[in-house]
């Protein structure tokens, strides 16, 4: 297990990158703490695999350094990094039994037979394959083969880190939940540094203590699931995390007032002058329906009942806005306004959250 540090790391697949867009990974500094369970989350093409491949040694970065503990591993091949990897699709030896597949990484390290047997039994139990240990991998379903890959990734206890690249893509939905829970449990028991790449927020939020959100080659926020929900640092985080995501509305900010859609909203704190594009962001959970002249004008388009709450979909001045109404609350029939809770309202300038306290300190 180790701490992983990225120092001024960047990568371009082009020989002579010049403009911002030429970089698949824009320069970043980051520390992945020893024993942390991280999810690397973002939509397709944002650079997740590029970053993971740099950490694993499959790719040498165009710029910067990567350290395992104090050791610079930037130029080291994968084999010398002592990591385990689980990919999107199964990597198993078809002619070997499930047992031998699981034992393979341990045999390679020359572990005594009794220790191998004990560890293989433990991992087989975890992935639900104790009964199929003596079957050949050939002929098993893709699902079962991927479970073997997961088991192989987790079988060694002395690795620096375990890297998962969308490992549950081929697993059926019920098993997905079970395996995620198992992974989390394994993390608690053995404390490996784990990095789990996914574009699925549920996977990220249920697996990780820290979620690292990437957008367009950058890490836009790294934090607990709660921090990402409560204070998204970038509009992408607001939109990507949550179901539905954060509502964003064009606004003009004047001190502690936001001018939005011809109405005024009182903010919890005052802001200094803001140039660039300014928006307010509020999660659907922190809006309530109203009438009269409170809040913002709202036109309801449709109501979806999703069990424990309802999602009211509508528009504020032509922009789509969603409101989550708990089952316990009535839906006012004549609702034509939405009222934000100022404590959960954020201001964004050019997509980045403005922290009013920080601005005041800087001034």
The residues of the shown chain that bind ligand ATP, judged by CB under 6 A, are: 13, 24, 42, 44-50, 199
Smallest distance, ligand ATP to C-beta of residue 203, A: 13
Q: Which of 223, 162, 218 is nearest to 190 (CA)?
A: 162
Q: Which of 101, 81, 89 is nearest to 155 (CA)?
A: 101
Smallest distance, ligand ATP to C-beta of residue 178, A: 24
Strands 252-260 and 263-271, how do they pair? antiparallel
Contact 304, 311 (CB under 8 A): yes
How far lies 105's CA from each of 2, 18, 138, 146, 359, in Å? 19, 43, 19, 16, 53
Smallest distance, ligand ATP to C-beta of residue 310, A: 32
3-class secondary structure, 27: strand
Smallest distance, ligand ATP to C-beta of residue 279, A: 25
Three-state secondary structure string covering 220-284: EEEECHHHHHHCCCEHHHHHHCCCCCCEEEECEEEEEEEEECCEEEEEEEEECCCCCCEEEEECH
Smallest distance, ligand ATP to C-beta of residue 47, A: 4
CB closer to ligand ATP out of 93 and 239: 239
CB closer to ligand ATP out of 213 and 249: 213
CB closer to ligand ATP out of 126 and 214: 214
- Rounded Cα distance, 345 and 326, in Å: 19
CB closer to ligand ATP out of 48 and 234: 48
Strands 63-68 and 71-72, how do they pair? antiparallel
CB closer to ligand ATP out of 44 and 328: 44
CB closer to ligand ATP out of 45 and 332: 45
CB closer to ligand ATP out of 207 and 298: 207
H or E segment to which residue 100 belongs:
helix 98-108
Full DSSP string of 185-214 = HHHHHH---EEEEES-HHHHHHH-SEEEEE
Q: What is the rounded end-to-end Cα distance, in angstroms, of the chain? A: 43
Smallest distance, ligand ATP to C-beta of residue 49, A: 3
Contact 106, 85 (CB under 8 A): no
Smallest distance, ligand ATP to C-beta of residue 42, A: 5
How far lies 103's CA from each of 100, 119, 211, in Å? 5, 8, 31
Contact 324, 284 (CB under 8 A): yes
CB closer to ligand ATP out of 50 and 132: 50
CB closer to ligand ATP out of 56 and 278: 56
Smallest distance, ligand ATP to C-beta of residue 13, A: 3
Smallest distance, ligand ATP to C-beta of residue 39, A: 13
- Residue ranges of alpha helices (H) inside 130-200 are 142-155, 173-190
């Amino acid at each position: 297990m180790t701490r992983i540090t990225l120092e001024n790391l960047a990568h371009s697949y082009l020989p002579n990158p010049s403009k911002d867009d030429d970089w698949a990974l824009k320069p970043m500094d980051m520390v992945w703490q020893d024993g942390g369970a991280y999810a690397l989350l973002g939509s397709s093409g944002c650079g997740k695999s590029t970053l993971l491949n740099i950490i694993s040694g499959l790719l040498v970065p165009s710029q910067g350094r990567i350290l395992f503990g104090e050791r610079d591993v930037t130029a080291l091949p994968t084999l010398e990094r002592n990591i385990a990897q689980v990919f999107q699709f199964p990597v198993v030896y078809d002619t070997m039994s499930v047992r031998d597949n699981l034992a393979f990484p341990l045999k390679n390290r020359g572990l005594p037979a009794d220790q191998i047997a004990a560890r293989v039994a433990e991992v087989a139990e975890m992935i639900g394959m104790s009964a199929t240990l003596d079957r050949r991998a050939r002929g098993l379903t893709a699902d079962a083969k991927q479970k073997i890959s997961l088991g192989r990734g987790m079988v060694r206890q002395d690795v620096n880190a375990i890297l998962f690249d969308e490992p549950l893509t081929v697993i059926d939905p019920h098993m997905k939940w079970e395996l995620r829970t198992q992974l989390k449990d394994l993390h608690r028991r053995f404390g490996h540094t784990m990095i789990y790449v996914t574009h699925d927020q549920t996977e990220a939020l249920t697996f990780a203590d820290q979620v690292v959100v990437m957008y367009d080659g950058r890490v836009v926020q790294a934090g607990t699931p709660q921090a990402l929900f409560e204070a998204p640092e970038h509009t992408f985080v607001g939109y990507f995390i949550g179901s539905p995501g954060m509502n964003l509305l064009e606004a003009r900010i004047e001190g502690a007032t936001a001018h939005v859609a011809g109405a005024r909203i009182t903010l919890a704190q005052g802001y200094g002058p803001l140039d660039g594009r300014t928006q307010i962001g509020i999660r659907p959970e922190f809006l309530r329906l109203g009438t009269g002249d409170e809040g913002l004008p709202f036109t309801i388009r449709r109501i979806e009942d999703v069990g424990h709450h309802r999602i009211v979909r509508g528009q504020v001045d032509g922009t789509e806005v969603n409101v989550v109404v708990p089952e316990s609350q009535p839906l006012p029939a004549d609702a034509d306004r939405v009222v934000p809770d100022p404590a959960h309202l954020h201001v964004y300038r050019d997509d980045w959250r403005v922290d009013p306290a920080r601005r005041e300190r800087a001034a």
